[in-house]
């Protein structure tokens, strides 16, 4: 019996559907990156090959996470958070600047983005915090974890990285939702946020870079100035819309191939995909994401303990948020805030982090099935 379970658990926890979904989405990502950078005579390794390499590293992270034990990992939550905060400080002083933001730490030929890893660590920290003791009262449930989030959030906003900052807030909000907030506490939050909103708006708006303000303004009226502020949003919408039902085919995306759409391989990869594969492709990709998130939610709901459930919920929330906001912003529903599409956008840090997070999810499932640890 025991033997059968142990024998069984490897196969069962290493959910084939789950891995297949991840691989399919990754495949779409590589294909889109390949297509958009096709014909660009770049220096060095093509992006799609680099992305494949990152996926390789991500796969290793995935397996390590899967094979590890999230309870052990949770114990390192605070030190890990300290390291992340340190890196976020380092990035402010030593970081590589790109497009007006200082987000990367150079390590030899590579550079990585601490804010991406900060998201996963934050999930770990909050899950650990809530599961360690019964946190009662709004001080313990809301304020203290809020104070935990704050230093990371501020450091990220300082870079500035609006997208990661919002992800941070989203993770925090999702966690609050999961542990449940008494209406009293919720009322206090609401009251405070309403009272503080003008100040916060001033603070947030004032700390934004010009391009970010313009992007937000562009969201209001993208057709106002096609060459300037709204350019990105409009070109992205044109790319998606012009894909119509069946798309323009591989390399057929004129918006991206002719570089009307900037950052086609990173934040706007969805627009590239939508242009080349049309609404049908979009439905397939959305279905894949929904499937992945659905399975993840199942893992969360079947987690055998609070820590597992909260970890899984946090990861799912983070994933959901990124997918929805990214697609929403490329489709012109949200302001352009610079969030990559998980598993699809080019980027080492994000890919590795997302795959590690998914590995962690699978680990939560594995632990549920195992009787001994």
User: For other proteins, which is the closer residue by CB, 177 or 195?
Assistant: 177
- Using a 10 angstrom Cβ sphere, with 0-12 exposed, 13-18 middle and 19 or more buried, the burial of residue 209 is middle
Residues 6+ apart with CB under 8 A from 72: none
Show the beta-strand stretches assigned E in the chain.
96-98, 101-107, 110-112
User: For other proteins, which is the closer residue by CB, 94 or 244?
Assistant: 244
Q: Does 307 bind other proteins (CB under 8 A)?
A: yes
Shortest approach of other proteins to residue 349 CB, angstroms? Answer: 25
Write out the DSSP string of 140-208: IIIIHHHHHHHHHHHHHHHTT-HHHHHHHHHHHHHHHHHH---HHHHHHHHHHHHHHHHHHHHHHHHHS
Using CB under 8 A, count the residues that bind other proteins: 57
Residues 26-65 touching other proteins, rule: CB under 8 A, are none
Q: Does 357 bind other proteins (CB under 8 A)?
A: no
Q: Does 8 bind other proteins (CB under 8 A)?
A: no
Q: Does 371 bind other proteins (CB under 8 A)?
A: no
Instruction: Please state, as a whole number, how many other Cβ atoms lie within 10 Å of the Cβ of residue 33.
Output: 27
Handedness of CA 51, 57, 62, 63 (dihedral sign): positive
- Binds other proteins (CB under 8 A): choice among 11, 133, 194, 371: 133
Residues 281-300 touching other proteins, rule: CB under 8 A, are 282-283, 286, 289-290, 293-294, 297, 300
The answer to whether residues 238 and 223 touch, using CB atoms and an 8 Å cutoff, is: no
- Using a 10 angstrom Cβ sphere, with 0-12 exposed, 13-18 middle and 19 or more buried, the burial of residue 130 is buried
- Binds other proteins (CB under 8 A): choice among 49, 83, 216, 238: 238
Segment lying near other proteins (by CB under 8 A), choices 18-26, 111-119, 187-195, 253-261: 253-261
- Binds other proteins (CB under 8 A): choice among 243, 335, 338, 359: 243
The separation between the first and the last C-alpha atoms of the chain, rounded to the nearest angstrom, is 16
Q: Does 109 bind other proteins (CB under 8 A)?
A: no
The answer to whether residues 237 and 25 touch, using CB atoms and an 8 Å cutoff, is: no
Q: Does 242 bind other proteins (CB under 8 A)?
A: yes
User: For other proteins, which is the closer residue by CB, 40 or 193?
Assistant: 40
Tokens of 86: 């340190």
Q: Does 259 bind other proteins (CB under 8 A)?
A: yes
Shortest approach of other proteins to residue 338 CB, angstroms? Answer: 18
Closest CA to 246 of 287, 269, 274, 280: 280
Q: Does 6 bind other proteins (CB under 8 A)?
A: no
Q: Does 178 bind other proteins (CB under 8 A)?
A: yes
Chain contacts with other proteins (rule: CB under 8 A): 71, 131-134, 174, 177-180, 227, 235, 237-245, 254-255, 258-260, 262, 274-275, 278-279, 282-283, 286, 289-290, 293-294, 297, 300-301, 304-307, 309-310, 313, 316-317, 320, 324, 327-328, 331-333
């Amino acid at each position: 019996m025991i033997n059968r379970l142990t024998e069984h658990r490897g196969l069962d926890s290493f959910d084939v559907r789950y891995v297949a979904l991840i691989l399919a989405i990754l495949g779409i990502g590589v294909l889109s990156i390949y297509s958009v950078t096709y014909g660009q005579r770049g220096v060095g390794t093509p992006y799609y090959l680099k992305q494949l390499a990152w996926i390789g590293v991500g796969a290793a992270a995935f397996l390590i996470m899967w094979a590890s034990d999230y309870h052990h990992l949770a114990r390192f939550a605070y030190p890990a958070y300290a390291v992340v905060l340190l890196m976020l400080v380092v990035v402010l002083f030593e970081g590589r600047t790109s497009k007006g933001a200082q987000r990367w730490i150079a390590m030899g030929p590579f550079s990585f983005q601490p804010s991406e890893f900060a998201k996963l660590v934050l999930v770990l920290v909050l899950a650990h915090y809530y599961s360690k003791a019964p946190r009662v009262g709004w001080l313990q449930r809301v304020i203290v974890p809020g104070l935990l989030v704050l230093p990371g959030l501020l450091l990220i906003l300082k870079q500035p990285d609006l997208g990661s900052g919002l992800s941070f807030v989203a993770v925090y909000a999702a966690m609050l939702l999961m542990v449940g907030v008494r209406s009293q506490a919720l009322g206090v939050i609401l009251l405070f946020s309403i009272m503080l909103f003008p100040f916060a708006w001033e603070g947030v708006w004032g700390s934004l870079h010009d391009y970010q303000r313009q992007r937000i303004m562009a969201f209001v009226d993208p057709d106002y100035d096609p060459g300037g502020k709204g350019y990105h949003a409009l070109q992205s919408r044109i790319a998606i819309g012009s894909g119509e039902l069946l798309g323009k085919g591989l390399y057929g995306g004129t918006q991206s191939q002719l570089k009307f759409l900037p950052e086609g391989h990173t934040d706007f990869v969805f627009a590239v995909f939508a242009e080349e594969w049309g609404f049908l492709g979009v439905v397939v990709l959305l279905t894949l994401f929904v499937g992945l998130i659905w399975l993840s939610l199942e893992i969360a709901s079947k987690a055998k303990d609070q820590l597992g459930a909260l970890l899984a919920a946090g990861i799912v929330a983070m994933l959901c948020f990124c997918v929805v906001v990214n697609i929403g912003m490329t489709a012109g529903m949200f302001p352009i805030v610079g969030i990559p599409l998980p598993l699809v956008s080019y980027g080492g840090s994000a890919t590795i982090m997302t795959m590690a997070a998914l590995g962690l999810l699978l680990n939560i499932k594995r632990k549920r099935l195992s009787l001994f640890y």
